[in-house]
Amino acid sequence: MLVRRFLFSHGFRYRIHAKTLPGTPDIALVGLRTCIFINGCFWHGHQGCSMYTVPKSNVEFWTHKIKRNQARDHESLLALKAQGWHTIEIWECQLLPKQRLKTLQGLLRTLNLIQLENSGATFTYHFDEEETFPSIAAESED
């Protein structure tokens, strides 16, 4: 809901749980041909995340289940790419209060870039030859 409210407040319109697309993405921005998957760290096996630990009981079952989920996710992403869709994955831990703003700003930036790419717009920056730039910290001042 957090991501959906954020997108709507920034003018993006979307469909939720689009059953006609591979993997039934959580959010589909049809106009941008972009799908957003919001993955729970445990259920999708987010490697290196503290929110993903295999339960101590019935380890074989949980390991197999999570590996199946990961394989299905991978197949869905490949199928969407083959159909010309962009895909974005957001992990549950990226929406915790400490990371939330950074994640949502990154999402907005990515969607804006996709929108520009789809419009075919190209941008170049021209500067005057007389314009000077400060030296880069790694450069010597010789």
Cα distance between residue 8 and residue 70, in whole Å: 29
The rounded percent of the chain whose pLDDT value lies above 70 is: 85
Positive or negative, the Cα torsion across 28, 34, 40, 43?
positive
Structure-model confidence comparison of residues 97 and 128, the more confident one? 97
Terminal CA-CA length for the chain: 55
**17: Cα within 13 Å, side-chain hemisphere:** 1
Of the pLDDT bands very low, low, confident and very high (cuts 50, 70, 90), residue 128 is low
Q: What was the pLDDT predicted at 107?
A: 95
Q: What was the pLDDT predicted at 121?
A: 65
Of the pLDDT bands very low, low, confident and very high (cuts 50, 70, 90), residue 123 is low
Q: What was the pLDDT predicted at 133?
A: 47
Q: What's the token pair of residue 120?
A: 């075919």
Domains and CATH numbers, the chain: 2-119 (3.40.960.10)
- Cβ count near 35 (within 10 Å): 27
The rounded percent of the chain whose pLDDT value lies above 90 is: 69
∠ Cα 109 12 83 (to 5°): 80
Q: Note the pTM of the prediction, 2 decimals.
A: 0.79
What pLDDT digit, counting tens, does each position of 71-119 carry? Answer: 999 999 999 999 999 999 999 999 999 999 999 999 999 999 998 887 7
Q: SS in 3 state form for 22-56?
A: CCCCCEEEHHHCEEEEEECCCCCCCCCCCCCCCCC
| Mean confidence (pLDDT) of the chain | 86
Q: What was the pLDDT predicted at 84?
A: 94
